Amino acid sequence: MAEENVWFITGAGRGMGIDIARSALAAGHSVVATGRNAARVQDAIGEHENLLALALDVTDEAAGAAAAEAAVARFGRIDVLVNNAGNFYAGFFETLSDAQVRAQLDTNFFGQLNVTRAILPILRQQRSGSIVTITSTAAFVGGGFTSAYAASKFALEGWMESLQAEVEQFGITTTTVVPGFFRTELLVEGSSTIWPELQIDDYADGTAQAIAGFKAMNGQQGGDPKKLANALVFLSDSGTLPLRFVAGADAMAAIEQKLTTVQDQIETNRTLSASLSFDA
């Protein structure tokens, strides 16, 4: 059996966070599971002697510090941080209000920074630990109706890639998990998915079609979140978590296509750069 670790998981009151918490507990680990409502987190995961359910709004920096302190008070350490909390402000850029775009970044990007800022000193003092951040295929491949969401996820990828270079000297590893479409609660409207506030005639038909498409997709996604959760715990226990873990055939295909497109663009730009003599 793998060494017992302490997992700290955000967004554990619903969706994939529940599955990650359950998988970690089943593997013999202790789990600090957080969400906006501690009672909901407890009910969602179920009773377990090695579970500590805490209320945590990731956009509240002070709450992150308090949760980290409570975790150490209960279990003495934190070994694996899973930045899982997130939501989806869906809409064309012009139809999303400024407040909606800022709220998207506050949760999906700055929220993860808040929690990591609270826990990283603990890992650094231990000279060990893992930071796992859930991003998305949208962290690599932008698309219509996802501009705010993709911006938040692109930001996470850049931050995590840079963070690895900063913390590896302290024995800390980082991993971004890049899932495709999994049967989580991300597309539950009014909860994880929020539709655009602004109405613009030029976008009306496209908005209606996109909303209908996402509603039809909800619950029908190809990926099984329990399998992904089990895989994350297995890879963590075996010490083989990669720097980036692309999960799902749809995610892999989309990123491979993007890489092909970028390679074509590089060749075009190589020719342009040579003709314009930028490096002369």
Residue with tokens 């038909």: 205
Query: Following DSSP, what letter does each residue of 117-150 receive, concatenated?
Result: HHHHHHHHHHT-EEEEEE--GGGT---TTBHHHH
- Number of neighbours of residue 191 by Cβ within 10 angstroms: 13
Q: Which of 75, 89, 145, 149 is catalytic?
A: 149
Inter-residue contact 82 to 20 (CB < 8 Å) = yes
- Number of neighbours of residue 102 by Cβ within 10 angstroms: 14
Total length of the chain: 280
Distance CA 86, CA 123 (A): 23
Distance CA 156, CA 161 (A): 8
Q: Considering only CA atoms, which of 5, 127, 14 is closest in space to residue 71?
A: 5
Distance CA 25, CA 6 (A): 10
89 is catalytic: no
What positions carry a catalytic annotation?
Answer: 149
